[in-house]
Structure 1
Amino acid sequence: MVKLQQPWVFFSIFMLLQTTLFHLSYADVGTASHYSNPGVATACFGNDVSQFPTSNLFAAAGDGIWDNGASCGRQYLVRCISAATPGTCNPSETIQIRIVDRADTSVSRPSTNGATIVLSTTAFGAIANPSAASVNIEFQQ
């Protein structure tokens, strides 16, 4: 009877290790750049000043998440995961941003073209050194 219990114990330990070491992640990975205040007119909400959160944590959607305008108003959790210069990211910070514009058509130009998300200067500064042009991010809706 002892021999039957040993495989079960090893299997239980193996399954416990599997579930603790390998968890599922639902976030996407991309790049973020930053831009200054786009003014009031945006691709998502026109001239509505209430589109901007009072925290100034907003962003413009890059082509990868624009989705023909369906991304307007979406909120994302964003965190910096790496950058070309070590120490650029503030890894302990995760911010929640709101999409209010389209990066390709925004009045204010992004610091780097082709980014997944173009963050407001306030949002970018919360997760990374604002002197960086772009960073690698993890984001989740």
Structure 2
Amino acid sequence: FGGDWVVDGAVAIAGALGVSDTIIGLTICAIGTSLPELVTSIVAARKKQLDMAIGNVIGSNIFNILFVLGIAATISPIPFAVENIIDICVLLFFSILIFIFCITKKRINRIEGAIMVALYVLFMVYVCLRETGIFPVL
């Protein structure tokens, strides 16, 4: 199955690079599994189907957080490390930031979109530094 290939490949990459499964999950797996949403939202935005772009992202995230994580936890309980708690706090912060962008002008403009992309890059830098031990876990 495709899921086996993704997990086995991700574990092999983590081992080859000498990094944790967490960093591979937060980077390669997350980006790889989100590419369909990215393409769908780009196409929807180009066609001015903006509700589709927003619905795609919100629906996908709700599905992943509740259904995917819920199914995984019913198969095998999932422990949370301090790093996971920090990542969830970052997720909450970014969600609130996007909420503020949306309620202030009822839209996310190009500058705010660029800020969101930059924040993602900064988060990835933080994760890499944290996982390599350069930046300590709070």
TM-score by length of 2: 0.22
* Higher helix fraction (1 or 2): 2
User: Of Structure 1 and Structure 2, which has the larger fraction of its residues in strand?
Assistant: 1
